[in-house]
Amino acid sequence: ADYLGDWQVSDILTGATLRESVFDQASGWRTHAAYGDESSARGFVDASARIAKKTGVVVFRKEIDVGPTDAAHLHLGYDGPVLVRLNAKLIHQGVAGNPALPDHVSVPVNFCHGVNCVEIALDTNNGRACGIFARWEPAAPARKKAAPPCP
26 neighbors 34 (Cβ within 8 angstroms): no
The predicted pLDDT at position 36 comes to: 85
Pick 140 or 85 by higher pLDDT.
85
User: Residue 39 phi/psi, 5° resolution?
Assistant: -125, 150
C-alpha–C-alpha distance, residues 57 and 19, integer Å:
9
Give every CB contact of residue 29 below 8 A, 6+ residues apart in sequence: 8, 9, 10, 61
**Torsion angle (degrees, nearest 10) of CA 118, 119, 120, 123:** 180
C-alpha–C-alpha distance, residues 46 and 58, integer Å:
11
Give every CB contact of residue 117 below 8 A, 6+ residues apart in sequence: 61, 62, 63, 85, 86, 87, 88
30 neighbors 78 (Cβ within 8 angstroms): no
Rounded mean pLDDT, 52-59: 96
Instruction: Say which range, 32-41, 43-52, 86-95, 120-129, has the weakest mean pLDDT.
Output: 32-41
Rounded mean pLDDT, 111-116: 94
pLDDT at residue 71 tops 80: yes
The predicted pLDDT at position 150 comes to: 52
Q: Tell me the average pLDDT of the chain.
A: 91
